[in-house]
Amino acid sequence: MTMPVQAIEVITTIKPIQLIALSITKGTKEPQMLLPAHSSPHDYQMRPSDMQKLQKADLVFWVGPSLERFLSNVQETSPESTNWIELQALFESEATQSQIKTTENSDEMEHASEHQQDHNHEGMDPHIWLSPIHAGIIARKIAATLIESDPESTQTYSDNLAEFLKQLQKQDLSLKKQLSEIKDSGYYVFHDAYGYFERHYGLHHLGAFTLSPDRKPGAKRLQNIREQLESSDVRCVFTEPQFKPSMVRAITEGLKVNTQELDPLATSIALHANGYFMFLQQLADSYVACLKK
């Protein structure tokens, strides 16, 4: 009698990556998420229970040290059997950049390069899951890693990947049509996290309160933002559920601008094989809801 193969333990650090992984693992064991809901990877503090999860993991999918700084030294103490996959590294290779360039037009790529330099002086914008193009690359990497670790489920992972990519392309076309109606409407975001999404869909981003939510803007910066909101054609200011909106309320008080929540971490999205597509749709709907008012 042969013993059943033990399912591999997969952990993703944040929910959007978990949602992509869920699409690929459909029909096998569900991947787990490390960070609790409503937690931001920018300022998260590790707990003993997190260490226990990581000790048991076979695969850990994380973005990279520019986002999850709290994990920078954890790999050194994790078991040798644990495979850590840094997803941001995928987008630093010439091969991947070439692949992206064949999908996005050259003007978008020029703006992408500028945004990466502006966003993070230590490297590229880490919010890689907010681009449908990037999501496809991430899904391929997750599938390839799972097939290598669990070859008996190769067909399942391959079929799930094909279905994910097909649905991703279909939804991308739908969102381009939906968001084309608000391309000329200017807005501010609390946290400069949405560059990939904004460039891909040609949105009119005017500015951000902060480049990173763990760097609170000073009084002078906030005053400059209010002056810009007063003088610019700003239709909306977006907040995030991971951070208190009191700062945004104080700045926008008395101004004729709308406010709306954007959730870059998919906090309210159900764990479902179609969860990533629900997440992209939620982002698009939030933009439209505020900018069409």
152 and 46 in one domain?
A: yes
Q: Are 16 and 35 in contact (CB under 8 A)?
A: no
Domain hosting 185: range is: 176-291
- Note whether residue 2 is domain-resident: no
Q: Which of 146, 125, 112 is nearest to 20 (CA)?
A: 146
- How many Å apart are CA 232 and CA 164, to the nearest integer? 40
Same domain, residue pair 112 and 240 = no
Cα dist from 125 to 89, 91, 184, 195, 266, whole Å: 12, 10, 24, 8, 18
Q: What is the pLDDT of residue 229?
A: 87
pTM: 0.89
Residues 163 and 183 in one domain: no
- Do residue 20 and residue 163 come from a single domain? yes
The verdict on 24 and 159 lying in the same domain is yes
Beta bridge partners of 191: 210
Under DSSP, the state recorded for 123 is: B
pLDDT tens per residue across all 293 residues of the chain: 333 456 899 999 999 999 999 999 999 999 999 999 888 898 899 999 999 999 999 999 999 999 999 998 898 888 999 999 999 999 986 556 656 665 665 444 444 444 444 444 356 899 999 999 999 999 999 999 999 999 999 999 999 999 999 999 999 999 999 999 999 999 999 888 999 999 999 999 998 887 666 677 778 888 888 888 887 788 999 988 877 777 788 888 888 899 999 999 999 999 999 999 999 999 999 999 999 97
User: In the prediction, which pLDDT does 196 show?
Assistant: 96
Q: Which of 168, 184, 216 is the last residue of a domain?
A: 168
Of 151, 168, 185, which marks where a domain is finished? 168
Residue 4 lies in a domain: no
Note the pLDDT of residue 4.
44
284 and 158 in a single domain? The answer is: no
User: Looking at 168, 194, 218, which one is the last position of a domain?
Assistant: 168
Handedness of CA 224, 198, 13, 66 (dihedral sign): negative
Token pair, residue 106, equals 């050259």
What pLDDT, on a 0 to 100 scale, did the predictor assign at position 117? 42
> Strands of 10-12's sheet, edge to edge?
32-33, 10-12, 59-62, 83-86
What's the pLDDT at 125? 92
The β-bridge partners of 188 are: 207, 237
